[in-house]
Amino acid sequence: MRNERFAIGIDIGGSSIKIGTVSESGNVSKKFKITNKGESSINELIKVLDTLVSSYIIGIGIGIAGLINKQSGKILNSPNISFIETINIVDILSERFNLQVFIENDANAAAIGEMWVGAGRDFPNFVLLTLGTGIGGGIIYKKKLLEIPAEIGHMSINSDGYKCTCGNMGCLEAYASANAILSNAINNLEKGRESILKSLHNGNYYKLTVEDIYKSALEGDNLAREILKVAGRYLGIGIANIINIFGPDAVILTGGLTGAWDIYVNEAIKEASRRAFKDLYNKAKIIPSILKDDAGVIGSAYLVLNH
Amino acid sequence: MRNERFAIGIDIGGSSIKIGTVSESGNVSKKFKITNKGESSINELIKVLDTLVSSYIIGIGIGIAGLINKQSGKILNSPNISFIETINIVDILSERFNLQVFIENDANAAAIGEMWVGAGRDFPNFVLLTLGTGIGGGIIYKKKLLEIPAEIGHMSINSDGYKCTCGNMGCLEAYASANAILSNAINNLEKGRESILKSLHNGNYYKLTVEDIYKSALEGDNLAREILKVAGRYLGIGIANIINIFGPDAVILTGGLTGAWDIYVNEAIKEASRRAFKDLYNKAKIIPSILKDDAGVIGSAYLVLNH
């Protein structure tokens, strides 16, 4: 029996860093999750990797939210993880562990993961959207990653709308991401809107999470419900644009916000159906990720295992 | 000397139908242009083809504004040439002339033309935008046409904005196309805005053309200038979205509106530079088509000659 080869996948997002060991058949084991607290988290990450690196590990794959120059390993622009622009994570890890290190945009990595062993296995052409702190996109075309930035979260859907962290105005991310939902909730609470959200975290509504909002919505809170629906409607506008441009077989949704599927995503599906070209809409299945939180870790490891 | 093979290329747009004979080296000869007056234009088209079809012609390629099912040859959705949805142009021409007939979206065909012998020759990855009655898109990725709808004109950039002919709201086409420019001019003139546009066509401003507006702008007319700048700004918002999603080497602009480059396109370039990710914007050259009006005819013929 030959020894199976493994790779470590790392998924660096705005709020957390996920790490796992992935087999050649796409199984993930030894999973870790650390909070992304900025540059100090890199030391924590290295401590975790110290425990994982062994002779069976043939390399490290990193998925990271942002615009990446794959040749240099430099992160050109990462609005939600800005510290990462000043360090070269690829050099740091390859020197420390003497392993090949590959880097890819996190949503691209998640799309690869879903294509490999997830919800995208049966779809030659699909668009994956990561719905979390920000909104990312990864596009699979004819069973391969489309090597484009796919910064779908930074597509303006309201040309003179909210200022986005990227400098543009009216980006999808500024309307439909977790950050957008939380800002909308806080704005409303600051204005004195009544809501059970006020009673959470001892009244400190700056500590609200998207989970709080979803739970409150399920308990019948009008404000929470309205905020999720508004964000979902904007997501649907973005999805309609994506359907009209890419005509995919599927739109696969992943990330923390898909936990609020019944309200947020259902509203998005309704809105997309009203807006996209009918024939294209009918072809595109809007479905959840199968790999969920593991998609980025698995897809990042794929970069190493299938190099 | 062996006989060179030729194909006929046909470019069916909202306002005109262009026809030409194209050689294997991409030269176009025997060009015709007929006004698109709806279904009766098909008879006129056939009369032109009667004079062009000969033993050297190995097939016919058609580029047409709209959403196409390439398997069936059916046009699924063509907001600006709706009569074409009710006939099967592929069947009609292949039966009449006993030739292979290929069909492609007109902007895709133009992109292929520019890739083959035009402004896209040196760019592995580019986005072509056709700026005319409507706005179309064609995307070349790694020197090949990306087989996606690329309905960039039907990307909503103002989610609750103008109703578009496609049924969606706030589409780029509803803000930056020739139709949008003319509507904006007429609206302003109906409201009594002063402009030299009023003195053209014996005061019948429903007869205005985009050329009239551009000429008036060059003559210093404030309204004409303002209208072109507003449309150009929206075009720039669309281009920024395209740059953030595709990260192309070039954005190639073609179609009648590029005649107003100095005002309309320059405004677009300024706006895109403010909005797109800086690194992606710097990489993307925004340039005019080389083949101009012939791009669709040449690209359609390529479908036949390189099948």
Per-residue pLDDT tens for B240-284?
A: 999 999 999 999 999 999 999 999 999 999 999 999 999 999 999
One domain, residues B109 and B237 = no
Same domain for A195 and A51: no
Residue type, B1: M
Residues A130 and A271 in one domain: yes
Is A272 found in the same domain as A223? yes
Q: Is pLDDT of A276 > 60?
A: yes
pLDDT (mean) for A8-30: 94
CATH code of the domain containing A254: 3.30.420.40
Which tokens hold the place of A184?
Answer: 């909308």
Q: For B33-74, give the DSSP string.
A: EEE--STTHHHHHHHHHHHH--TTEEEEEEEESSEEETTTTE
| Residue B197 and residue B205 in contact, taking contact as beta carbons nearer than 8 Å | yes
pLDDT digits (tens, 9 = 90+) for A131-146: 998 999 999 999 999 9
Residues in chain B with CB shorter than 8 Å from the CB of A150 are: 245
> At residue A96, does pLDDT exceed 90?
yes
Say yes or no: A137 and A279 in one domain: yes
Domain presence at residue B171: yes
Q: Is the pLDDT of residue A272 over 60?
A: yes
For position A2, what pLDDT does the model report? 59
Query: Which of B154, B156, B278 has the CB atom closest to A237's CB atom?
Result: B156
- Same-domain status, A89 and A221: no
CB contact under 8 A, B159 and A246: no
For chain A, positions 203-262, list CB contacts with chain B under 8 A.
Answer: 234, 237, 240-241, 244-247
For the beta sheet containing A144-145, the strands, ordered from the edge strand earlier in sequence to the opposite edge, are A144-145, A135-141, A126-131, A250-254, A285-288
Question: Mutation test of the interface with chain A: which of B69, B80, B129, B156, choosing the one with the most A Cβ atoms within 10 A?
Answer: B156
User: What gap in Å lies between CA A23 and CA A29, rounded to an integer?
Assistant: 8
- Is residue B277 located within the same domain as residue B228? yes
pLDDT, mean of residues B9-22:
92
Does the model's ipTM exceed the 0.90 cut? yes
CA B286 to chain A, closest CA, distance in angstroms equals 18
Say whether pLDDT at A221 is over 50.
yes
Rounded to a whole number, what is the distance in Å from the CA of B2 to chain A's nearest CA?
38
Whole-number average pLDDT of chain A: 94
Query: Cα angle at B289 between B287 and B290, to 5 degrees?
Result: 115
Residues B19 and B144 both lie in one domain: no
Residue B205 in this model has a pLDDT that exceeds 50: yes
Q: Is residue A234 part of a domain?
A: yes
**For residue A1, is it within any domain?**
no
pLDDT band per the 50, 70, 90 thresholds, residue B142: very high
Tell the burial category of A96 from Cβ atoms under 10 Å away from its Cβ (0-12, 13-18, 19+): middle
pLDDT band of residue B2 (cuts 50, 70, 90) is: low
Least Cα separation, residue A185 to chain B (angstroms): 21
Query: pLDDT tens digits for B230-250?
Result: 999 999 999 999 999 999 999
Residue A13: its pLDDT value, please? 84
Residue B59: the pLDDT is 98
| Nearest partner of B84 among B58, B106, B100, judged by Cα | B106
Distance from C-alpha of B250 to C-alpha of B225, rounded to nearest angstrom: 27
With cut-offs at 50, 70 and 90, classify the pLDDT of residue B68: confident
Q: Tokens 């925004």 identify what position?
A: B286
- Residue ranges making up the domain that contains A279: 121-289
Above 60 in pLDDT, residue B1? no
Q: Which chain B residues are within 8 Å of A82, Cβ to Cβ?
A: none
Same-domain pairing of B141 and B39? no
Please give, rounded to a whole number of angstroms, the shortest distance from the CA of B44 to a CA of chain A.
Answer: 31
Question: b/e map of A187-218 (b: 16 or more CB within 10 Å)?
Answer: ebbeeeeebbbbebeeeebeebbbebbbbbbe
Token pair of A218 as six digits: 């399920």
Neighbours of B193 (CB within 10 A): 15
**B1 domain-assigned:** no
Spatial separation of the C-alpha atoms in residues A141 and A249, rounded to whole Å: 10
Same domain, A169 and A210: yes
Structural domains of chain A, count: 2
Question: Are residues B186 and B70 located together in one domain of the fold?
Answer: no
DSSP of A28-54, one letter per residue? EEEEEEEE--STTHHHHHHHHHHHH--
Asked whether residue B209 is assigned to any structural domain, the reply reads yes
With respect to residue B262, please indicate whether it lies within any of the assigned structural domains.
Answer: yes
Same domain, B134 and B103: no
Q: pTM of the entire structure?
A: 0.93
The packing angle between helices A222-246 and A210-218, to 10°, is 110
Average pLDDT of A48-58?
96
